[in-house]
């Protein structure tokens, strides 16, 4: 069964705008990670937030975690064409398996 589900499935914005992607999950987690995948490439780790954290920042990325709602969001500020990629959330449960969601396809138009 799918642990993490991203929303929306696809998002198209203009360069300079902010992009927000959401991830919902079903069971308690140890941490939640976000990865980026450019077309035809492997995944790249972006940021990790632990279950006892509520918000983390890394450059233009801001991640929030609401364990009561079992959801997380990834905000990319001042988007660039190079941010065009698929973004995946991955949840780590106490069983220690890292499970990926289906991803959000982000297109940033120049």
Partner 1 sequence: EAGVAQSPRYKIIEKRQSVAFWCNPISGHATLYWYQQILGQGPKLLIQFQNNGVVDDSQLPKDRFSAERLKGVDSTLKIQPAKLEDSAVYLCASSSGQSNEKLFFGSGTQLSVL
β-pair type (104-109, 10-14): parallel
Of 17, 18, 27, 45, the one binding partner 1 (CB under 8 A) is 45
Binding-site string for partner 1 from residue 54 to residue 83, where x marks contact by CB under 8 A and - marks none: ------------------------------
Span interacting with partner 1, options 14-22, 61-69, 71-79, 91-99, rule CB under 8 A: 91-99
The total of other beta-carbon atoms located within 10 Å of residue 36's CB is 21
Query: Cα–Cα distance between 15 and 6 in angstroms, integer?
Result: 22
48 lies in the site for partner 1, by CB under 8 A: yes
88 Cα distance to chain centroid: 5
Residue whose C-alpha is closest to residue 21's, from 100, 99, 89, 92 = 89
Query: Cα–Cα distance between 68 and 102 in angstroms, integer?
Result: 22
Span interacting with partner 1, options 14-22, 38-46, 58-66, 72-80, rule CB under 8 A: 38-46
Of 43, 65, 76, 106, the one binding partner 1 (CB under 8 A) is 43
Which chain residues interact with partner 1 by CB under 8 A?
4, 31, 33, 35, 40-45, 48, 88, 92, 96-103
């Amino acid at each position: 069964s799918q642990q993490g589900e991203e929303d929306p499935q696809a998002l198209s914005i203009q360069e300079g705008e902010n992009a927000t992607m959401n991830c919902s999950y079903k069971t308690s987690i140890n941490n939640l990670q976000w990865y980026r995948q450019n077309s035809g490439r492997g995944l790249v780790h972006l940021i990790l937030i632990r279950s006892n954290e509520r918000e983390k920042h890394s450059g233009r990325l801001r991640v929030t975690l609401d364990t009561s709602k079992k959801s997380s969001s990834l905000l990319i500020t001042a988007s660039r064409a190079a941010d065009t990629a698929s973004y995946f959330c991955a949840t780590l449960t106490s069983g220690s398996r890292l499970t990926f969601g289906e991803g959000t396809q982000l297109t940033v138009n120049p």
